[in-house]
């Protein structure tokens, strides 16, 4: 199938090879790699899953194997590698950064979670990284020197013999709301960072400028390293929309939406075909883009690889030993499994009530003494299995190190928060897991209960950074009831002031666009850390045992 004519007049043919390899359990894109073939290996959304599935040891071994076939091997990451699990939380991203160095990454882009350790630590991580970070759409309008931006390039052109391949980095404009919004502001609360996200056209235009510059500089192929995703909720900043509104790109390697895309073909602004691929989440797949000596280009996913690099395995083991004593310390027991997901792996914590969501929200309410507790589902990351509960288990649930905050808020502000958090919920609630509509800002609650009428279309309006602006008269959140001191539920009053517990990400920093509490009076301003809240609740309030009362969700959120 003819895709397009290359700059050097070579035909580019889409050929995803689905052969069963002796060493590989899935798609093998370079069984027959020739000495002049260019191999680009890619990962995305690893989220600190350093030793799961293929793992970094398998990735390092596979990269070496590719290098035995061709000298032209490049390894890239498409964001969210340094944050999201215990090994990242304990080291503030430095352990994962060192593992990436040892794996031999050449280029990387900043996912929204790379900003989660703050700009100073981000600069530290970029300083110790052996990979060149790329980002063509990150801008700063403030007056202070920003060290990490000086380490960032919009693109890099690599020569493989006589063939030049341009790598352009694109980070999602959603980073401002998906990470910590206040990190992108100056001391006065004004945004001084942006991602060319004022409109889709602004982002497309910035990327097109860099594509044109690369072509002018002699690039034969243009590969976008993107952290955009394909979720409709990310529109107009999806990778498919970027392709459809640009020209001159050959392939987009994507992240953010955790999609497993071996090879999709998307038409660009001229109707020409562009390859799109994404590896999913963790290191359950390795992506492989091959440019052959005769101009063929193909992508595919390596689903398994049994070999492990011994040096990488040894280094991972040394890190695990350093953490082992602290992480294996028992803090209690659980009689039930507390979970974020269904048996099939769907992240239920982001679209409905779960028993772990109840447990976390109860912890915030009990430890703080607030009337109500709200915890965003995207901040609840790991399950707690029945049996002994360790420090590592608790840290896996809350790996971000956010701090307890309690704020005074009106009932109307609480209603707005629930409405904002429920805007992506989809029907039908009676159809099991098909009742989806994932949102990291979906609110698990304690001290109140509410219903979401999915037959009502959301009327929430947001600004350019997807922060809450307003909501129309038609609301899908209904029957909001508050638990009083006598243990009875009464109707929430819009004009009444309540105390609301959460963490600094939501209360002070407007995380997930929930900005309605940011200017309110705080009664607790960054107290104990999030995982300390859970441990304190388990040990002090539950006497070290999570009982059968948490076997099932407790009926606080009804999806109609």
- Give the CATH number, domain containing residue 454: 3.90.780.10
Residue 482 domain-assigned (yes or no): yes
Q: Is 111 in the same domain as 77?
A: yes
Q: Is 384 in the same domain as 466?
A: yes
Residue 1 domain-assigned (yes or no): no
3-state secondary structure labels for all residues of 57-122: HHHHHHHHHHHCCCCEEEEEECCCCCCCCHHHHHHCCHHHHHHHHHHCCCEEECCHHHHHHCHHHH
Residue 541 domain-assigned (yes or no): yes
Q: Is 314 in the same domain as 338?
A: no
Give residue 20's pLDDT: 29
Residue 4 domain-assigned (yes or no): no
Structural domain ending residue among the three candidates 283, 318, 353: 318
Q: Is 171 in the same domain as 213?
A: yes
Give residue 491's pLDDT: 96
Q: Is 172 in the same domain as 308?
A: yes
Tokens representing 221 are: 């192929």
Q: Is 99 in the same domain as 241?
A: yes
Residue 3 domain-assigned (yes or no): no
Element (H, E) at 397: helix 391-397
Q: Is 222 in the same domain as 261?
A: yes
Mean pLDDT by 10 residues, the chain (560 residues): 31 31 34 75 95 95 95 97 82 93 98 88 96 97 86 97 97 84 83 94 98 98 97 92 98 95 97 97 96 93 95 94 82 94 80 94 94 94 94 89 92 96 72 63 95 92 91 94 92 96 94 94 84 90 96 93
- DSSP reduced 3-state for 164: strand
Q: Is 32 in the same domain as 61?
A: yes
Tokens representing 7 are: 């700059």
Residue 431 CA to residue 427 CA, distance in Å, equals: 8
Q: Is it true that the peptide bond before 242 is cis, omega within 30 degrees of 0?
A: no
Can you say whether residue 555 is alpha, beta or left, with left for phi > 0 and alpha for psi between -120 and 50 degrees? left
Give residue 531's pLDDT: 86
Residue 397 CA to residue 381 CA, distance in Å, equals: 5
Give residue 427's pLDDT: 57
Residue 368 sits at the vertex; the CA angle it makes with 363 and 374, to the nearest 5 degrees, is: 60
Contact between 337 and 384 under an 8 Å Cβ cutoff? The reply is yes
Give residue 155's pLDDT: 98
Residue 505 CA to residue 397 CA, distance in Å, equals: 16
Residue 286 domain-assigned (yes or no): yes
Q: Is 397 in the same domain as 520?
A: yes
Residue 6 domain-assigned (yes or no): no
Give residue 12's pLDDT: 32
> What's the Cα-to-Cα distance from 467 to each of 174, 376, 509, 519, rounded to whole Å?
10, 15, 11, 14
Report how far apart the first and last C-alpha atoms of the chain are (Å, whole number): 47
Residue 430 sits at the vertex; the CA angle it makes with 553 and 362, to the nearest 5 degrees, is: 15
Only one residue has tokens 């890619």, namely 42
The count of structural domains within the chain is 2
DSSP 236: T
Tokens representing 370 are: 């607030």
Bridge partners, residue 290, by sequence = 39, 298
Radius of gyration in angstroms for the set of CA atoms belonging to the chain, rounded to a whole number? 24
Range of the domain at 210: 13-318
Residue 8 domain-assigned (yes or no): no
Q: Is 46 in the same domain as 185?
A: yes
Structural domain ending residue among the three candidates 272, 298, 318: 318
Tokens representing 340 are: 């974020």
Q: Is 489 in the same domain as 541?
A: yes
Q: Within its chain, how far is the Cα of 205 from the centroid?
A: 25
> What's the Cα-to-Cα distance from 44 to each of 7, 127, 423, rounded to whole Å?
29, 20, 27
Residue 537 CA to residue 542 CA, distance in Å, equals: 6
Contact between 74 and 40 under an 8 Å Cβ cutoff? The reply is yes
Structural domain ending residue among the three candidates 284, 318, 352: 318
Q: Is 192 in the same domain as 62?
A: yes
- The CATH number of the domain holding residue 240 is 3.60.21.10
pTM given for the model = 0.71
């Amino acid at each position: 199938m003819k895709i397009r004519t290359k700059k050097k007049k070579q035909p580019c043919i889409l050929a995803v090879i689905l052969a069963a390899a002796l060493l590989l359990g899935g798609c093998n894109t370079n069984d027959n790699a020739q000495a002049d073939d260019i191999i680009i290996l890619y990962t995305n959304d690893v989220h600190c899953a350093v030793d799961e599935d293929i793992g970094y040891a398998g990735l390092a071994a596979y990269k070496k194997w590719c290098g035995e076939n061709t000298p032209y091997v490049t390894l890239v990451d498409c964001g969210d590698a340094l944050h999201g699990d215990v090994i990242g939380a304990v080291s503030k991203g430095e352990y994962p950064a060192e593992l990436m160095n040892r794996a031999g990454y050449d280029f990387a882009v900043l996912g929204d979670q790379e900003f989660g350790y703050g700009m100073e630590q981000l600069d530290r991580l970029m300083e110790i990284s052996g990979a060149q970070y790329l980002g063509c759409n990150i801008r700063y309008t403030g007056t202070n020197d920003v060290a990490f931006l000086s380490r960032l390039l919009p693109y890099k052109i690599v020569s493989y013999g006589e063939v030049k391949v341009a790598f352009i980095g694109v980070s999602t404009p959603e980073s401002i709301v998906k990470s910590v919004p206040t990190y992108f502001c100056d001391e006065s609360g004004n945004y001084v960072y942006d991602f060319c996200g004022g409109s889709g056209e602004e982002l497309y235009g910035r990327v097109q400028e860099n594509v044109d510059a690369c072509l002018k500089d002699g690039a034969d192929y243009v590969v976008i390293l993107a952290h955009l995703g394909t979720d409709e909720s990310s529109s107009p900043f999806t990778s498919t929309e970027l392709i459809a509104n640009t020209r001159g790109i050959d392939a987009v390697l994507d992240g953010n939406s955790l999609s497993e895309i071996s090879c999709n073909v998307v038409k660009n602004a001229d109707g020409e075909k562009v390859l799109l691929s994404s590896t999913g989440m963790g290191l359950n797949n390795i992506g492989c883009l091959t440019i052959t000596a005769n101009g063929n280009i193909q992508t595919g996913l390596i689903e398994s690889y049994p070999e492990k690099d011994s040096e990488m395995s040894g280094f991972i083991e040394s890190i695990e030993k350093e953490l082992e004593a602290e992480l294996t310390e028992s803090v209690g027991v659980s009689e039930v499994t507390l979970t974020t997901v269904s048996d099939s792996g769907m992240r239920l914590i982001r679209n409905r009530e779960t028993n772990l969501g109840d447990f976390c929200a109860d912890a915030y309410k009990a430890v703080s003494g607030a009337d109500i507790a709200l915890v965003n589902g995207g901040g609840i990351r790991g399950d707690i299995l029945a049996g002994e509960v360790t420090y590592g288990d608790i840290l896996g649930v809350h790996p971000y190190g956010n701090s307890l905050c309690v704020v005074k808020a009106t009932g109307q502000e609480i209603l707005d928060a629930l409405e904002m958090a429920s805007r992506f919920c989809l029907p039908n609630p009676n159809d099991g897991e098909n009742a989806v509509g994932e949102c990291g800002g979906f609110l698990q609650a304690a001290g109140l209960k509410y219903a979401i009428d999915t037959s009502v279309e959301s009327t929430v309006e947001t600004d350019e950074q997807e922060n809450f602006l307003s909501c129309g008269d038609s609301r899908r959140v209904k029957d909001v009831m508050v638990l009083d001191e006598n243990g009875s539920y009464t109707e929430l009053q819009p004009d009444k002031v309540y105390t609301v517990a959460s963490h600094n990400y939501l209360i002070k920093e407007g995380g997930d666009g929930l900005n309605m509490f940011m200017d309110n009076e705080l009664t607790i301003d960054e107290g104990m850390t999030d995982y300390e809240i859970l441990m304190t609740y388990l040990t002090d309030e539950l006497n070290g045992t999570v009982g059968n009362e948490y076997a099932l969700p407790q009926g606080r959120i009804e999806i109609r």
